[in-house]
A = this chain, B = another copy of it.
């Protein structure tokens, strides 16, 4: 079940976000980011935030928001995170499909991911399988903790 995130979900969401942020391999966020700014970032009032819940456990979370203001407001942006114990179970795919539906329902005309780390091949393959294409490649734009400077992709899909 995918449903809007509640304030009371925050501890479960943080339990998913924190290891990913600390690992620093997939998101351009400070690895030592504190809980309060992480909450302000993920559950920002401008975001529609969701959780994927199974048997009362939050396994994944995503947010959706406009990627730009003004004349760019018809393109949305999302961030997705899956709990480490729930990897490989289709959680991200289910959230991705939900996000595409939600974006269409809100009237967005496209979805854009600004910064998909190219070495995150599982994510790249997932988004491609859901219809996204890489419309940009940012050379050496991400400093990976073990791989050094790697590219990041801009992925896009018209809705």
Residues of A at under 8 Å CB distance from B?
A: 21, 24, 27-31, 33, 68-75, 109-110, 112, 114-115, 117, 135-145, 149, 152, 154, 156, 158
Could you say which of B21, B27, B75, B141 contacts A112, with CB atoms under 8 Å apart? B141
Q: Indicate if the CB atoms of B138 and A74 lie closer than 8 Å.
A: no
Task: Decide: B144 and A156 in contact? CB cutoff 8 A.
Answer: no
Minimum CB distance partner of A117 in chain B: B71
- Per the bound structure, the CA–CA distance linking A110 and B138 in Å amounts to 10
Are the C-beta atoms of B143 and A74 separated by less than 8 Å? yes
Q: How far apart are A153's CB and chain B's nearest CB, in angstroms?
A: 9
Nearest-Cβ distance from residue A35 to partner chain B, whole angstroms: 15
The answer on a CB contact under 8 Å between A71 and B110 is no
Nearest CB of B to A78, in Å:
15
Neighbouring B residues of A112 by C-beta, 8 Å = 138, 141
- Residue contact B139 to A156, C-beta cutoff 8 Å: yes
Chain B residues within an 8 Å CB radius of A142: 68, 71-72
In whole angstroms, how far apart are the Cα atoms of A71 and B146 in the complex?
11
**Given known A28-B70, A28-B71, A70-B27, contact A139–B144 (CB-CB < 8 A):** no
What are 13 A-B contacts defined by CB distance under 8 Å? A24-B71, A27-B70, A28-B68, A30-B70, A31-B70, A71-B142, A71-B145, A73-B143, A74-B143, A110-B139, A114-B114, A135-B137, A141-B156
